Structure 1
Amino acid sequence: MTEVKAGVEYKINIDGNSFLLDEKKFNLLIYINESGSITEAAKRSKISYRTALNYINKIESTLDIAIVSTKKGGSGGGGSTTLTEEGLQILKECKKINAIMELHRETNELEAEILEVDREKGVMKIQMNKLTMTIPLNKKYEVGDKILALISYDNIFIMLEPQTSSIRNIFKGKVTEMRLQDEMIRVKIDIGGVDIFSDITLSAGKDLDLGLGKEVYIGFKTLSIATLKL
């Protein structure tokens, strides 16, 4: 069973209409899809049946779509409620985002703007402060779009000198913080006003002779980046 954690919101955009789906509304859709009943879904979401109906009505009226379809039972009852195609699509998109967030629980979150799009090479150039980097192209993005780039701490490589390799993005920075965490060293590096965190082993930290203020190079492969449109 998939649930979204408290405090998370998903921005849903459909035909120019947008709606912020919080954890209660998202979980309600999950339970409707699993149980086929608004009553049961409301109970599992720990809200009243009336509140569940209000949530559904608010989503449908704001996005101007139907997200649930209800079939009445016969004389003996037994009606059921299912998500419509649009409701299932909303649930699918939210689950995808939720999966990315779970995969990248400890990530560098970098707000950026798309500067260039190279569809032939399948890459795009983004800018954060004065820094630019090249990442895989998302065909839905255009120049000028604001995005959030997610890079896991363990996908950041620390080097004493820039190296020629498959690592496309390499930046010079300075170590500003080091702390031991779960048998790993979490290193904070300032690269031109942008803070990047990297998790390295104790032996790697010793080999690099890291210390506060030391100048290093950090790098990461383009394929290690996940993006979300803001």
Structure 2
Amino acid sequence: MSEYVDEFPALVESLFQVPDLGKLGISQASHPPRFLMLYGSLRERSYSHLLTLEAARLLRAMGGEVKVFDPTGLPLVDSVPDSHAKVQELRELAMWAEGMVWTSPERHGAMTGLLKTQIDWIPLSEGAVRPTQGKTLAVMQVCGGSQSFNAVNQMRILGRWMRMITIPNQSSVAKAFTEFEEDGRMKPSAFYDRVVDVMEELYKFTLLTRNVSSYLTDRYSERKESAEALSKRVNQRSI
């Protein structure tokens, strides 16, 4: 780096890092990959819930540990203190998870308020810990009519904002009311095959990244901010 320093006068050379593939050695963790599932409807027969449960079965069959959050009783954001029991439950699950699945109906061309409320209750940072940064994410939606992608596209924006590794594949199930049996199981179809693809890809990305997510999300700007804060504290103590 030193031979190029004159080309980057705004750069703090000591904090700049050349990516090192040697730091990406993948080792087996001591526990199965952990997944949190969120869905966006409280209807008695909620197709986003049924799709979530189908995806959860697949992740468990692959060897994952899965928890599905029940949003019943979760209040609107900022309407209650963070100490509310449902808020704490959701945040603890977000901290526990190494990957997430967000599934929403498309309502008025967008994700539902219920799904957005769940995401909004998860902070970008909690003390020195970031509940979502570097964790994997898969997004899915169910449609009442023809296939569309408005909800998954919105959730992708949110995933990036939450600093998550949002996998390339996604699922959008058209006319969801025709795709499930009376017992709630999903019928064989190309839509089902896509759900299998998405969960398989999520599982693989989680295995690849969960042990190195702190390295993958290590940022020059944050190293610089930390170095400046440390320097400021040292200077204050020396006065």
Q: Does the alignment reach a TM-score above 0.5?
A: no
Q: What is the TM-score of this pair, normalised by structure 2?
A: 0.20
**With CA pairs under 8 Å and 6+ residues apart, which has the higher RCO, 1 or 2?**
2
Q: Compare the two structures and name the one with the higher helix fraction.
A: 2
Larger-gyration structure (1/2) = 1
Provide TM-score, normalisation by structure 1: 0.21
